[in-house]
Structures are given as C-alpha cells and as structure tokens.
Amino acid sequence: MEAIFATAATAAGLFAGTNIDDMVVLAVLNASSRADGRPAAWQIWAGQYAGIAALVAISLLAAFGLSLVPESWLWILGLIPLGLGLRKLVIAIRAHRAGQQASPAVATGLTGVIGITIANGGDNLAAYTPVFRTMSGNHIAVTIAVFVIGVVLWCLAGFWLVSHHKITEVIERWGQWIVPAVYILIGLYIFQREGILGF
C-alpha cells in the first residue's frame, strides 16, 4: 500500500512539474471563451483530456521501445503555438487598421485545443517516458488515475484565474494583442527548451 501512495505522490509531482506552463494556456483559453464564446468550456476540458491522453499514450509506446517522435524533433511542436500566435497577430493588426476589434480566440474548437495541449506538452514526453519504463502495470494505472485528477484541477484553476471581472475586462479590451503574444512566447519557449534558439 505504501508503494501505491508513493507512486501517487510521484505522479502528482510529475504532472504538476510538467504542466505548470499549461496553466497559462488554460487561462488564455478560458479568457477567450469568456470574451468571445470560443472555444466552449466543454471543448477546453475535452481538449485537455484528449491532449494529455495522447501524450501519455506516446510516452507509454516510447517506454516500451517504440519511439514515434525522435527527441531531436520535439522543437517542431513549437511551430504550432508560434504559427497560431503569428496568425492571430496579423488578424489583430488588420482589424485595428479597419477600426475593428479582433476575436481573442486562438483555438476555436476541440481540435485546436487538442493541438495546443500536445504542442505545449513536448517536455511531458521526455519526462513521462523514462518514468513509465520503470513502472509495473499497477503503478502505471495509478499514475494515469492521478493525471486524470490533475487535468480536472488544472482546468478548474484555469477557469478560476479568469473568473475575476478585472481580468475579463482586460482580456476583452486587450485580448486581441495579449493572446497572440502569449502563443508566440510559448512557441519561442518550446524552441528555447529544445535548444533551437542557442541560449
């Protein structure tokens, strides 16, 4: 029984440590949802679960010797948020020139949320794979159960972060600029983390 509790504690630390940056993504997604209605709350939750499930599945396959994504290619995941951010920035500039307000939504549906979750989770693969390699079936099941609970807590925290009126007002006013900036920075962060930027 002690081993199960130790596994659960390790899994909780692993999930929190590899998903701190995902909290920013969830806050931005929830802010977009509040300001524009897109993506819908259920799409954020379902997208998070599907994205994390995909990362866990890829990590499990890699742990058993089947590498679907070579580590030297993980930087490519940074192209997704960078591309989304640049696209939204261009839209915001065009809307500003036309005297309009662009929607802050970057991911407008379920597939967009899944894509962003997977792109932001490249470091999860590197962390989960060696851990799963050392675990038995029971311990892997406990770890996955903890991750399921972790996604719930992360989604609730992301919703809570933007539940204050002042934050919502800021997003409604400046969201067309804040959201692209956040996603561009996430893309650059992934590049930096994978050593592509050279610092």
Domain range list for the chain: 2-193
Whether 45 shows a pLDDT value over 70: the answer reads yes
- Please state, as a whole number, how many other Cβ atoms lie within 10 Å of the Cβ of residue 131: 17
pLDDT in tens, 109-151: 888 888 888 877 766 777 788 788 877 888 899 999 999 999 9
CA dihedral (131, 132, 133, 136) positive or negative? positive
Residue range 160-186: mean pLDDT, rounded: 72
Task: Work out the pLDDT band at 59, boundaries 50, 70, 90.
Answer: confident
Tokens 């440590």 -> residue: 17
Q: Is 167 exposed, middle or buried (0-12, 13-18, 19+ CB in 10 A)?
A: middle
